[in-house]
Structure formats: structure tokens, C-alpha cells
Amino acid sequence: MKLNVGRLADLPTDRCRATEDGSTIVFRVGSEAKAFANNCLHQDAPLAGGWITDGIVACPFHFWRYHVADGQLVGSVAALVARPVTITDGEVWVEVPDRDIRSVREVMLDHARTWSREDAADDRT
């Protein structure tokens, strides 16, 4: 699904802003918009609100740092999950994953409908 995150000129250059659904962070680097999954590789903390300095995004919780160009963790080959960005007439669109919006109850009921004692016995062997 594509989300409109506003005008390129209005995107922050010094902070990570979350998309409306919270799944993605977005910010401006020069004349480009960058978007990555809103999950730090360290303890899955949200990156929204993290600050950007000298081409580096810092996680606001534990200060893990990532390169703004590609989301690569400083000093590692690991990287944030990049999200595709399109700019049309100055408006920034970010491709975000579809969310499973079922309630916990619905998820549990779906699981219960397919569960059998034989499955549980197979798991213990």
C-alpha cells in the first residue's frame, strides 16, 4: 500500500518522522526522501523521533546508528529494511507493507480452527 507522507520540502532533515500507520520512518536527505522500517535492529525499538546528524540516523532509545543513504548499521553489514519512495509533483509516497488488522481474538480463533492434538504430539517428538 502507498502512503502519502506530505511534500518533500516539509519532510524533516534532522529527525525521523513516522508514517501515519507507524510502520515506517521517513526523512529528507537533500532533494531525496528516504524511508526505512521503523524498527531498530537492536531490540526492535522504534526509530521515529531519532535524530539525524552528519549523514547518520541515531536510534532514540539505545543510540544505534545507521547511514541515511542506505540504512546500513555503522560498523556492520546489517541494514534497516528500505521502503520504496516515489516523488510525484513534490508529494512523497512511500510503499508500506499491508498490515494484518485482525484482532488477537481473530488470530487465535483462526489458529484454533486448524489445530489438532496430532499436531501437538508431532511437535513434541
pLDDT along the chain (125 residues), means of 10: 96 96 95 96 95 97 96 97 97 88 77 75 55
How far apart CA 2 and CA 82 sit, in angstroms, is: 14
The Cα-based distances of 17 to 38, 105, 123 in angstroms read: 9, 31, 43
C-alpha cell at 80: 534497516
| pLDDT score for 39 | 95
Q: Three-class SS of residue 8?
A: helix
How far apart CA 43 and CA 80 sit, in angstroms, is: 13
| pLDDT score for 61 | 95
Strand partners, 29: 32
Its pTM stands at 0.79
